[in-house]
Protein backbone atom coordinates (compact mmCIF):
# COMPACT_ATOMS: atom_id res chain seq x y z
CA UNK A 1 0.00 0.00 0.00
CA UNK A 2 1.50 3.22 -1.05
CA UNK A 3 -0.52 5.74 0.93
CA UNK A 4 -1.60 6.08 4.52
CA UNK A 5 -5.25 6.64 3.55
CA UNK A 6 -5.58 3.05 2.49
CA UNK A 7 -4.31 1.78 5.85
CA UNK A 8 -6.68 3.64 8.18
CA UNK A 9 -9.13 0.76 8.65
CA UNK A 10 -6.47 -1.87 9.38
CA UNK A 11 -5.60 -2.98 12.86
CA UNK A 12 -1.91 -3.32 13.62
CA UNK A 13 -2.28 -4.74 17.07
CA UNK A 14 -3.42 -8.25 16.07
CA UNK A 15 -1.49 -11.10 17.58
CA UNK A 16 -1.18 -12.99 14.35
CA UNK A 17 2.29 -14.44 13.44
CA UNK A 18 2.96 -12.73 10.11
CA UNK A 19 6.51 -14.15 9.96
CA UNK A 20 5.14 -17.69 10.00
CA UNK A 21 2.63 -16.86 7.22
CA UNK A 22 5.38 -15.56 4.94
CA UNK A 23 7.16 -18.94 5.12
CA UNK A 24 4.18 -20.78 3.67
CA UNK A 25 4.69 -19.51 0.04
CA UNK A 26 4.95 -21.99 -2.83
CA UNK A 27 7.32 -24.46 -1.19
CA UNK A 28 4.60 -26.73 0.05
CA UNK A 29 2.22 -26.99 2.96
CA UNK A 30 3.49 -26.34 6.46
CA UNK A 31 4.94 -29.30 8.31
CA UNK A 32 4.89 -30.09 11.97
CA UNK A 33 5.31 -27.09 14.27
CA UNK A 34 5.04 -24.61 11.34
CA UNK A 35 8.16 -25.79 9.42
CA UNK A 36 8.33 -26.26 5.63
CA UNK A 37 7.64 -29.78 4.33
CA UNK A 38 10.11 -32.00 2.43
CA UNK A 39 10.91 -31.28 -1.23
CA UNK A 40 9.26 -33.60 -3.80
CA UNK A 41 11.09 -35.97 -6.18
CA UNK A 42 12.81 -34.58 -9.29
CA UNK A 43 10.82 -35.04 -12.52
CA UNK A 44 12.10 -36.88 -15.64
CA UNK A 45 14.64 -35.16 -17.91
CA UNK A 46 13.17 -33.44 -20.97
CA UNK A 47 14.19 -34.17 -24.60
CA UNK A 48 17.48 -32.81 -25.99
CA UNK A 49 17.02 -29.62 -27.98
CA UNK A 50 18.32 -29.03 -31.53
CA UNK A 51 21.93 -28.02 -32.12
CA UNK A 52 22.59 -24.35 -32.37
CA UNK A 53 24.41 -22.67 -35.23
CA UNK A 54 28.08 -21.92 -34.75
CA UNK A 55 28.61 -18.60 -36.38
CA UNK A 56 27.26 -17.20 -39.61
CA UNK A 57 26.70 -19.32 -42.72
CA UNK A 58 29.46 -18.95 -45.31
CA UNK A 59 29.08 -16.82 -48.37
CA UNK A 60 27.98 -18.47 -51.61
CA UNK A 61 30.85 -19.44 -53.88
CA UNK A 62 31.38 -18.09 -57.37
CA UNK A 63 29.33 -19.60 -60.18
CA UNK A 64 31.11 -22.16 -62.30
CA UNK A 65 31.59 -21.87 -66.05
CA UNK A 66 28.66 -22.59 -68.36
CA UNK A 67 28.46 -26.05 -69.87
CA UNK A 68 28.61 -26.74 -73.58
CA UNK A 69 25.48 -25.85 -75.54
CA UNK A 70 23.02 -28.62 -76.30
CA UNK A 71 21.76 -29.75 -79.70
CA UNK A 72 19.48 -27.13 -81.20
CA UNK A 73 19.03 -28.60 -84.67
CA UNK A 74 19.29 -31.84 -86.61
CA UNK A 75 21.71 -31.72 -89.52
CA UNK A 76 24.32 -33.76 -91.44
CA UNK A 77 26.73 -33.51 -88.50
CA UNK A 78 24.50 -35.12 -85.86
CA UNK A 79 22.43 -37.52 -88.00
CA UNK A 80 23.33 -40.43 -90.25
CA UNK A 81 21.65 -43.00 -92.50
CA UNK A 82 21.82 -46.77 -92.06
CA UNK A 83 20.74 -49.08 -94.92
CA UNK A 84 20.28 -52.84 -94.89
CA UNK A 85 19.20 -54.92 -97.89
CA UNK A 86 16.78 -57.79 -97.20
CA UNK A 87 15.61 -60.72 -99.35
CA UNK A 88 12.30 -62.41 -98.62
CA UNK A 89 12.04 -65.59 -100.69
CA UNK A 90 9.75 -67.93 -98.77
CA UNK A 91 8.08 -68.31 -95.38
CA UNK A 92 9.07 -67.60 -92.71
CA UNK A 93 9.88 -64.19 -94.14
CA UNK A 94 12.73 -62.33 -92.47
CA UNK A 95 12.26 -59.00 -90.75
CA UNK A 96 14.44 -56.35 -92.36
CA UNK A 97 16.24 -54.16 -89.82
CA UNK A 98 18.44 -51.09 -90.04
CA UNK A 99 20.03 -50.54 -86.61
CA UNK A 100 21.64 -47.36 -85.25
CA UNK A 101 24.97 -47.38 -83.39
CA UNK A 102 24.86 -48.20 -79.68
CA UNK A 103 23.64 -45.18 -77.69
CA UNK A 104 22.08 -43.46 -80.73
CA UNK A 105 18.36 -43.15 -81.47
CA UNK A 106 16.24 -43.62 -84.55
CA UNK A 107 14.46 -40.51 -85.83
CA UNK A 108 12.67 -42.01 -88.83
CA UNK A 109 12.89 -44.87 -91.26
CA UNK A 110 11.30 -46.71 -94.14
CA UNK A 111 12.04 -48.99 -97.07
CA UNK A 112 12.58 -49.04 -100.81
CA UNK A 113 11.37 -52.02 -102.84
CA UNK A 114 14.21 -53.08 -105.15
CA UNK A 115 12.75 -56.17 -106.76
CA UNK A 116 9.88 -58.60 -106.74
CA UNK A 117 9.02 -61.87 -108.42
CA UNK A 118 5.42 -60.72 -108.84
CA UNK A 119 3.40 -57.49 -108.99
CA UNK A 120 4.30 -55.03 -106.24
CA UNK A 121 0.60 -54.56 -105.49
CA UNK A 122 0.55 -58.15 -104.18
CA UNK A 123 2.98 -57.35 -101.34
CA UNK A 124 1.59 -56.73 -97.85
CA UNK A 125 3.44 -54.53 -95.35
CA UNK A 126 3.17 -56.27 -91.96
CA UNK A 127 5.66 -54.09 -90.09
CA UNK A 128 6.98 -50.62 -90.79
CA UNK A 129 7.98 -49.17 -87.44
CA UNK A 130 10.77 -47.97 -85.18
CA UNK A 131 12.42 -50.44 -82.84
CA UNK A 132 13.88 -49.75 -79.42
CA UNK A 133 15.04 -53.09 -78.12
CA UNK A 134 17.65 -53.37 -75.35
CA UNK A 135 19.24 -56.35 -77.15
CA UNK A 136 19.04 -55.09 -80.75
CA UNK A 137 19.23 -51.33 -80.13
CA UNK A 138 17.36 -48.48 -81.78
CA UNK A 139 16.49 -48.61 -85.47
CA UNK A 140 13.77 -49.36 -88.04
CA UNK A 141 12.15 -52.66 -88.98
CA UNK A 142 10.13 -53.78 -91.99
CA UNK A 143 8.34 -57.02 -92.78
CA UNK A 144 7.04 -57.42 -96.34
CA UNK A 145 5.13 -60.53 -97.36
CA UNK A 146 4.21 -61.34 -100.98
CA UNK A 147 0.78 -62.79 -101.77
CA UNK A 148 2.45 -65.70 -103.59
CA UNK A 149 4.87 -67.50 -101.19
CA UNK A 150 7.12 -68.44 -104.12
CA UNK A 151 7.73 -64.81 -105.10
CA UNK A 152 11.02 -63.17 -104.20
CA UNK A 153 10.89 -59.75 -102.52
CA UNK A 154 14.00 -57.55 -102.26
CA UNK A 155 14.02 -54.31 -100.33
CA UNK A 156 16.32 -51.92 -98.52
CA UNK A 157 15.44 -50.90 -94.97
CA UNK A 158 16.66 -47.44 -93.96
CA UNK A 159 16.96 -45.72 -90.59
CA UNK A 160 17.82 -42.09 -89.97
CA UNK A 161 19.66 -42.01 -86.65
CA UNK A 162 20.51 -39.25 -84.19
CA UNK A 163 24.23 -39.39 -83.38
CA UNK A 164 24.72 -38.94 -79.64
CA UNK A 165 28.25 -37.98 -78.59
CA UNK A 166 30.78 -39.32 -79.12
CA UNK A 167 29.99 -38.67 -82.77
CA UNK A 168 30.72 -41.35 -85.32
CA UNK A 169 33.73 -40.68 -87.56
Q: What is the pLDDT of residue 115?
A: 79
Closest CA to 98 of 14, 160, 153: 160
Walk across the sheet containing 96-99 and list its strands: 96-99, 137-146, 123-133
pLDDT tens per residue, range 19-74 = 555 444 445 555 566 677 788 888 899 888 777 666 667 788 899 999 888 778 88
Q: What is the largest CA-CA distance in the chain?
A: 138
Contact 115, 85 (CB under 8 A): no
Is residue 107 within 8 Å of residue 155, measured between CB atoms? no
Q: How far apart are CA 66 and CA 20, in angstroms?
A: 82
> Between residues 8 and 66, which one has the greater pLDDT?
66
**Percentage of the chain modeled with pLDDT above 90:** 28
Nearest 5°: the CA angle 34, 40, 44 is 165
Distance CA 124, CA 147 (A): 7
Burial letters 122-157, b for 16+ CB under 10 A, else e: ebeeeeeeebeeeeebbbbbbbbbbeeeebebbbbb
Gyration radius (Cα) of the chain, Å:
48
pLDDT tens digits, 103-156: 999 999 999 988 777 777 788 888 899 999 888 889 999 998 888 888 888 899
Q: In this predicted structure, what is the pLDDT of residue 9?
A: 52
Q: How far apart are the first and last CA of the chain?
A: 102
Amino acid sequence: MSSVEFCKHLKFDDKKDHARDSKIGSQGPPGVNGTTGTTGATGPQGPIGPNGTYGVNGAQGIQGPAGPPGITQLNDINTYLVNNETFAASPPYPIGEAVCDTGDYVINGGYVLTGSGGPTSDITVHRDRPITDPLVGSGWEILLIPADPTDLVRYIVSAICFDNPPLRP
